[in-house]
Amino acid sequence: MLHVVNSAIDGQPRPLDEPYARQLARGYRGLQFEQPLESEYRALVDEEQRRPALVCAWAGLIIWSGFAAFDIFRLNLAGRETIAPDIWVLLGARWSVLLILAGYIFLPLRNRIRVGTAGFLIYVAIGLVVAITTVIFKTNGLLAADTAQIVVVMAAFLPIGMTFYVALIASLSLVLATAVAGLIYLPGPQLAGHLGLTLVMAMAVPVAAVGGYLREHAHRRQFLLGALLARQAQFDPLTDLANRRLFQRHATATIAHAHRVDEPLMLAILDLDHFKQVNDRHGHMAGDQALQQVAEAIRDAARGPMDMAARLGGEEFALLIYGCDRERARPILDALRQRIADLPILPGGEALSISIGASMLGPDEDLTTLFARADRLLYASKSDGRNRLRLD
């Protein structure tokens, strides 16, 4: 069962992982997510299928090289006094595809192009060349590998980065190109057989498409479930702040970076005062709502790309601010403490207070020692009477 948090917009309960949970509940029979989930999913597909697409390109290069080498003997190029223009077209088209495949495999440029885009362009190029060369072979009275076209039609649904609908368009374009090429260049006796081939190719498309659709539908479900699980493993379900595990991982990396570039860094530990009494007097629902509003205030203080706010557990929070020296730290934390004190978040307008202990990153210090110093300062601020800030 999904936990809920209060929306910052209208105060209504929202699922913690609203975009993923909403999409999962609504379904996606059309294989299309809402934005920005669709962009996120396509980026994942691009990353996951980069290696399979390279394997497919290698396979295509090897197979296509075999056809290109066989052309030399099948067309008897050495025994021809002159080579007809259509044969030159066939050879040029065949070797152009070889160059395209080799370029994709060996040139670093492929890492800058989306796999889906490259897959679509290469597939369409192969499809058009197959359609043209098949017709040229037939017009020259040579045996054409008709069954190869059926294989190429179905290959659109291989893991080469194309989503289902893009693959469907690509495969249908090959069927259309084959039909048009036959209608333009083949005489009547040969055209009937060629159109029969086109019909078989058209029938092969839905056969391959069913598998492609089911595979992508299952993959999209795995994407949503994986995103839900990943987020729930890293974020607190009540406040939607980072949990202790994520905070420790992020803070460790940020501290290491701060040491490398010699940047200041501040870690603050914050604890709500007398929070047990709030739950006892007003109930746990009121306490949860108070925690959510306090979390929102702490989240607003973490504005930088390397800053992070987290709920460590219970009524204890952490705030990491990168590039923050002692002079900046005090007004930020004082303003945060005062903002929380001014929030009428309990029934009857009763306010809460918070105690803060904050420490600045020392030379060669790790998260454990930095956290321990901030924690000692937190308890010192509570000993001073609570609603206090102690900054080392």
Q: How far is CA 78 from CA 65, 72, 144, 260, in A?
A: 19, 8, 20, 66
User: Is the pLDDT score of 6 beyond 50?
Assistant: no
Q: Judge if 82 and 221 occupy the same domain.
A: yes
DSSP 4-55: EEE-TTT--EEETTHHHHHHHHH--TTS-PPTTHHHHHHHHHHHHTHHHHHH
In the chain, how long is the greatest CA-to-CA distance?
Answer: 103
Q: Judge if 188 and 271 occupy the same domain.
A: no
Q: Given 175, 198, 231, which residue is the final one in a domain? A: 231
Tokens representing 34 are: 């809402």
Q: Which domain holds residue 67?
A: 26-231
pLDDT at 392 (0 to 100):
85
CB 239 within 8 A of CB 292: yes
pLDDT at 29 (0 to 100):
86
Q: How far is CA 187 from CA 28, 136, 139, in A?
A: 46, 12, 8
Task: Tell me, yes or no, whether 7 lies in a domain.
Answer: no
Q: Judge if 224 and 276 occupy the same domain.
A: no
Q: How far is CA 164 from CA 49, 208, 309, in A?
A: 14, 11, 40
Q: Judge if 82 and 140 occupy the same domain.
A: yes
pLDDT at 348 (0 to 100):
67
- Per-residue pLDDT of 43-84, as tens digits, reads 999 999 999 999 999 999 999 898 888 888 777 776 677 788
Task: Tell me, yes or no, whether 8 lies in a domain.
Answer: no
- Per-residue pLDDT of 91-112, as tens digits, reads 898 899 999 999 999 988 788 8
Read off the CATH number of the domain in which 363 is found. 3.30.70.270
CA atoms within 13 A on the CB side of 357: 20
Quick one: CA torsion of 172, 173, 177, 178, rounded to 10 degrees? -30
pLDDT at 282 (0 to 100):
79
Task: Tell me, yes or no, whether 195 lies in a domain.
Answer: yes
Domain count for the chain: 2
- Per-residue pLDDT of 31-47, as tens digits, reads 999 998 999 999 999 99
pLDDT at 17 (0 to 100):
54
Task: Tell me, yes or no, whether 192 lies in a domain.
Answer: yes
The Cα–Cα gap between 122 and 56 comes to 11
The Cα–Cα gap between 230 and 243 comes to 12
Task: Tell me, yes or no, whether 10 lies in a domain.
Answer: no
The per-residue pLDDT of the chain, averaged, comes to 87
Task: Tell me, yes or no, whether 19 lies in a domain.
Answer: no
282: helix, coil or strand?
helix
Confidence of residue 169 (pLDDT cuts 50, 70, 90): very high
pLDDT at 285 (0 to 100):
85
User: Is the pLDDT score of 264 beyond 60?
Assistant: yes
Task: Tell me, yes or no, whether 104 lies in a domain.
Answer: yes
Q: Judge if 219 and 265 occupy the same domain.
A: no
Q: How far is CA 377 from CA 212, 260, 355, 358, 370, in A?
A: 59, 26, 10, 7, 11
Q: Judge if 162 and 310 occupy the same domain.
A: no
- Sequence-distant (≥ 6) Cβ neighbours of residue 99 within 8 angstroms: none
pLDDT at 262 (0 to 100):
94
Q: Judge if 56 and 154 occupy the same domain.
A: yes
228: helix, coil or strand?
helix
Estimate to the nearest angstrom the gap between the alpha carbon of 68 and the chain centroid: 39
Q: Judge if 256 and 306 occupy the same domain.
A: yes
Section 352-379 average pLDDT: 93
Catalytic option among 315, 316, 350, 365:
315
Q: Judge if 209 and 283 occupy the same domain.
A: no
pLDDT at 274 (0 to 100):
85
Strand order in the sheet with 265-272: 308-313, 316-322, 265-272, 354-360, 389-391
Reported pTM: 0.71
Q: Judge if 166 and 252 occupy the same domain.
A: no
Task: Tell me, yes or no, whether 13 lies in a domain.
Answer: no
Q: Judge if 213 and 273 occupy the same domain.
A: no
User: Is the pLDDT score of 349 beyond 70?
Assistant: no
Q: Judge if 82 and 222 occupy the same domain.
A: yes
Q: Is 316 assigned a catalytic role?
A: no
User: Is the pLDDT score of 224 beyond 90?
Assistant: yes
